Amino acid sequence: MWVYQGLDILGTLLEAMGLYVLVNAFCPHREPSWRYLVPPAVFFVSVYLWTWFWEDSAYKIAVTLLLTFLAYKGLTKQPAMAILAGMMTQQIYLAAANALAETAAFFLLDEMTVVVEGQQFLRPVVYGLYFLFQIAFMLFFRFFLRKYAGGLDKRSVLAIALPFLLIEVLVHLLTVPFHNGQWGWFNVYWELGILLIAMLFLVLLVYIKNNLFLREQEQRSKLQIAHLQQQFAYYQDKQKEEERVRALYHDLKNHLLVLEQQPSTEAACQMAETLRGQIAAYEDYVHTGNEFLDIILKDKAAKAREKGIDFSAQLDLHGADFLDPLDLSTLFGNALDNAIEASEKLPEGQRLITLQGKRIRDMLLVTVENRAQPESTPAQGTSKGDPFLHGFGIPNMRQAAERYGGQIQFQQSGETFRLKLLLPIP
């Protein structure tokens, strides 16, 4: 008996692991937490207790899934549709794995079951097949859902609920007679029916996820293109303005020289001081070796000063002209916008942003640091009310870095938030 208890425990552990993997795949935006381990534990304990301590298995699946759903909803605060989609997908592939194992054993073995201490059990080889098929399905769905990340809307969940309910009915018609010790419990047509419905579920899920993915990518692409075009046009205008100001700056210096040669009067000194104050901001112009980036930094530095933020930048991008202006805008514009937004939430005396960048052999290393409220950086890259419209900053930065074979990292330690950008220089 202990052998079958061990096999049952191993099988239930695999089922709980599959639940954890599948629900998390439908709820990708989350912080690591022990709370996500509790619902699979509830599932494991419920299944184990019901299998070995309650004889009536009529409501085993329904009650177990209800308790698991309530645990997920109460502890993780994830959308109900995402939780339901993950649970239904897990139950579908469990039923398919079980049907495959039992059908294969029916044709390969003379006897699928064995009686131990008056109870009917499947032979260990059937358990082994079930475990292998279960792991294969779990890995397949995990890979598929990583490619098409994200949850499902209500209409999609209702669409995949029909195959789920059909499979649950067929599984119920098979498992209840088996647990009651009836010898004629196996029905190959019902097993094949489960497999066909599972395939229907898979095709439906692939279609829905692919359709949602393409639709979302199209919407995001349109927003990204519009945003980048707007930024590009803006910084082109800024570049023209900077050229005009630098010409004016040159003339102002000449005016100052003339004033300084005039007799020293209070009016002349006052005029000279006023002119020096007007051009002071341009004395601190950041020269990075990339004119387009100079404009971006000048603009962000002005915004930082307006908000009482101490801003300093030390970058040397000579030899790094491989970066496209749009990507420069995406990487540095979004990084500094996020830093300014985080700094605004602090008292004025604590607002600080530092930007450093240098070439290390064949790599360009850029670091942006700013003070922020402890653990205030949102997981999805935005703290605004509508993450779909406003959460493109960090994803866009990742994509821009990956286009050059680089990577971007975000770290927060106490009150310091740090962004590190590493790009290979061709």
> Which CATH number is 364's domain given?
3.30.565.10
Residues 200, 322, single domain; the answer is: no
Average pLDDT over residues 23-31: 74
Residues 212, 296, single domain; the answer is: no
Residues 353, 213, single domain; the answer is: no
Q: Which domain holds residue 217?
A: 2-221
Angle ∠(335,148,412) on CA atoms, nearest 5: 30
Residues 168, 61, single domain; the answer is: yes
Has residue 136 been placed in a domain?
Answer: yes
Residues 174, 319, single domain; the answer is: no
Kindly tell me if the per-residue pLDDT of 217 is higher than 80: no
Could you tell me the pLDDT band of residue 378, with boundaries at 50, 70 and 90?
Answer: very low
Tens digit of pLDDT for each residue in 289-340? 887 788 788 888 888 888 889 988 888 877 667 888 888 888 998 899 999 9
Has residue 123 been placed in a domain?
Answer: yes
- The domain total for the chain is 2
Has residue 349 been placed in a domain?
Answer: yes
Residues 214, 322, single domain; the answer is: no
Residue ending a domain, among 192, 221, 250, is 221
Has residue 240 been placed in a domain?
Answer: no
Has residue 426 been placed in a domain?
Answer: yes
Tens digit of pLDDT for each residue in 328-375? 888 998 899 999 998 998 888 889 999 999 888 888 999 999 988 776
Residue ending a domain, among 202, 221, 240, is 221
Residues 36, 134, single domain; the answer is: yes
Residue ending a domain, among 199, 221, 243, is 221
Within 10 angstroms of residue 141's Cβ, the number of other Cβ atoms is: 21
Has residue 251 been placed in a domain?
Answer: no
Residues 211, 302, single domain; the answer is: no
Residues 109, 186, single domain; the answer is: yes
pLDDT recorded at residue 281: 56
Helix axes 188-261, 80-108, angle to 10 degrees: 140
Amino acid identity of residue 339, one-letter, is A
Could you tell me the pLDDT band of residue 388, with boundaries at 50, 70 and 90?
Answer: very low
Residues 199, 315, single domain; the answer is: no
Residues 64, 188, single domain; the answer is: yes
